[in-house]
Chains A and B, each alone.
Chain A
């Protein structure tokens, strides 16, 4: 057994994987299918419910954004936040209630932001992993709902190799190109990639929509001004020695996208801009987002000990621009810069792992500093600085070859300093005229003790695991210090300086059964928040808009995902999966209601046919069936159930030494008009995109 663990440790070191638990090798990535045994080995590595996503899955399911690609995974959803952008949710928890981690470092965006995507180049990703459930132990604040772990630091094995991909999709007339190269000479290696994407306004199967009591007519069923572009690039240099692995990676992701012209700004006003002139141009209002990351990683491993050091710097820069309009006492601003966010994050992590007999001990120390400044004439978020530090210790004990137990504990300390903010224009109050204060200066300190424990057991056909844990997140400055109009959703939002760190307790279980040709899996969970931070609509008006304020409430949630796969024969595979989630607020103003954007039940079923001499071609027909959602909270509306038919196909062609991958996808093939209850656009009655056909051609050399 010790030998097995050691082997795993060595593989980890030599592959340079970030999560020391997750051995990954080139061999596995290149394999056409992951065998049941390998899948089980993976499942035995952690007591938490988790899903591994290899390159083959990413290639076969390539969609408009990384999140849409991962959406087929049980328990994972892409929450549409408008203008074709989406953010991940795991079992209904998203934004600051889950962590996105790239190469072992928490990816800092404006996680709370409602209208921009992940700021990650999906073509740079080698593989991914989804941890469902509380993961604060290793990842600290935010990892309440789980973790989306992305890996883009796979070490090249050849002296030179690469992939060139061209892709396009019909719905938003997207065109893109991506190139990735890498090579290794002796112990030195490099990787580089670049991606360019350009897309037009997207199409919805309707001629008009209703927004905030207005009727808006759409030209050619296009959502005006939702076009955009994306430019990404990265460069990585490294040294892979016998015991030492070290690398530096610089990446930059830039995107510019328009906001739906009729659903942005204070009031729905017709603009002089002729939006229907072209569906590829980006007019006001629009945003641009840039994410720069520099990541240095060093790991050293010797026998039964390994040490890892990560140091990262990230900068998020985002601007929102819109036509200046006066509102209330605010005069017409001089320029279109409505909001600007400039966030700098520095972080460091030291992790140690040591194997002593049947015990695997891990400990780590992490520190992070964030500095955020805002600009523009619209106020929603105060300036702030946050410093966080955490320490953890965990142990995994092998009782028998097929029985593991693990437990760990973590302590975090965070300090947030929020700056005051005053309006830049005067408001008459009585006989006087003053600059109204929107945010008061404050300093808050937070402590959190979290823990996790679990057990794994496997027999020849069964894999059983269960995990119980506590996670937390520090309230974000928007939740504590916001006091302004949210122009995107027509409401006035007010923070609460008294908020406590949000805590969450969860029990997960996972059972899988793999008789020959079959794979059964069921993953139930039960989740309790003593103080869920919730933006509650009140009955009051402020400055002509309904007031929403932040409160904390007890919340209970439970649900499950279930999955059956049947390999009929070498060629045919049948898949069936479903998920269900229930949530209830148990105290506070909205006692008895569910949480916003509650995910309705869904069932996915698919039939896949593989062809070709190497079994490397496939055709897959899938149906996505979603139930009606009547579990709502103000200001939501019930959402009808729907189903969509989706088709995908792909083939790997061998041209000499080179491989040509061709993939094709058709989503919403019947062009059905339906609403997604978890989409922000549901609130303004914008249906989901119509039929979309996309194709990708990739040349591996």
Chain B
């Protein structure tokens, strides 16, 4: 939409918010319908149509598939997050994989323990914000692994949104040992 018609649109729409001017609204709306029909396809400026990225390859990326950690240790987290326009926020979640379910973003074939019933599995779920206006961000955390949880196969999930609301997921298969 070009600037002239944007101005016109704003002018025409201003009275729409006023409930009292019903008849005028009507006339304006009809005018608007006619005006808008003449200009449409050009208002797509800066529309974000891509997902944000979680860089999962690199020397400092952690955790990675099949990585093992001990109870009571620190689980270091480091991911490079990016978006072509603006990042939103992210979430880190850890849940057990004692039932051997699979995630499509994890292609690894790690050796797994036998299936088992969870007794006191580790559940971690935390939301994190990213400062406004950033296109790249380094997600760096040190998560303490509790000492009293069930050891075994776990999934580490990182979820990322961009400002427009697109969401990207990344799953990593890890193992917690004694």
Contacts and interface: CB of A to CB of B under 8 A. Distances in A.
A441 interface: no
A582 interface: yes
A470 B164 CA distance: 31
B68 interface: no
B43 A546 contact: no
Interface string B72-100: 00000000000000011111010100011
Is the contact region of chain A dominated by helix, strand, or loop, or is it mixed?
strand
Contacts of B99: 269-270
B116 interface: no
A539 B95 CA distance: 23
A547 to B, nearest CB: 9
Interface residues of B, number: 47
A541 B99 CA distance: 27
B104 A215 contact: yes
B43 A539 contact: no
Contact of A536 (B9, B26, B43, B165): B165
Contacts of B93: 544
A449 interface: yes
Interface string A483-516: 0000000000000000000000101000000000
Contacts of A470: 26, 29
B125 A451 contact: no
Contact of B33 (A269, A526, A540): A526
A528 B29 contact: yes
- Tell which of B26, B90, B101, B157 has the most Cβ of chain A within 10 Å: B101
A268 interface: yes
Contacts of A536: 165
B44 interface: yes
A97 to B, nearest CB: 18
B101 A270 contact: yes
Contacts of A591: 43
A267 B36 CA distance: 44
A544 B127 contact: yes
A556 B40 contact: yes
Contacts of B37: 526, 558
B33 A214 contact: no
Interface string A625-654: 000000010110000000000000000000
A541 B127 contact: yes
Contact of A541 (B89, B164, B171): B89
Nearest to A540: B89
Contacts of B45: 592
Nearest to B168: A213
Contacts of A546: 159, 161, 165, 167
Contacts of B16: 530
B8 interface: no
B30 A541 contact: no
Nearest to B16: A530
A470 B30 CA distance: 10
Contact of A544 (B29, B44, B47, B125): B125
Contact of B127 (A214, A268, A542): A542
Contacts of A526: 33, 37
B153 interface: no
B29 A592 contact: no
B147 interface: no
Contacts of A210: 104
A538 interface: yes
B26 A544 contact: no
Given A215-B102, A270-B99, A539 B89 contact: yes
A10 interface: no
A554 to B, nearest CB: 7
B32 A213 contact: no
B105 A592 contact: no
B43 A538 contact: no
B137 interface: no
B14 to A, nearest CB: 11
B147 to A, nearest CB: 21
Interface in A532-577: 536-544, 546, 554, 556, 558
Given A541-B89, A593-B47, A451 B26 contact: yes
Interface in B104-163: 104-105, 125, 127, 129, 157, 159, 161-163
B101 A214 contact: yes
B169 interface: yes
Contacts of B159: 541, 546
B43 A544 contact: no
B164 A634 contact: yes
Contact of A635 (B30, B33, B166): B166
Contacts of B46: 592
Contacts of B100: 270
B43 A592 contact: yes
A539 B88 contact: yes
A268 B33 contact: no
A589 B48 CA distance: 11
A468 interface: yes
A239 to B, nearest CB: 44
Interface of B: 9, 13, 16, 19, 22, 26, 29-30, 32-33, 36-37, 40, 43-47, 49, 87-91, 93, 95, 99-105, 125, 127, 129, 157, 159, 161-167, 169, 171
Given A528-B33, A543-B125, A635-B167, 18 more contacts: A213-B169, A269-B101, A270-B99, A270-B100, A505-B33, A539-B87, A539-B88, A539-B164, A539-B165, A542-B127, A544-B91, A546-B167, A586-B43, A591-B43, A592-B44, A632-B49, A634-B166, A634-B167
5 contacts: A215-B104, A505-B33, A530-B13, A544-B91, A634-B164
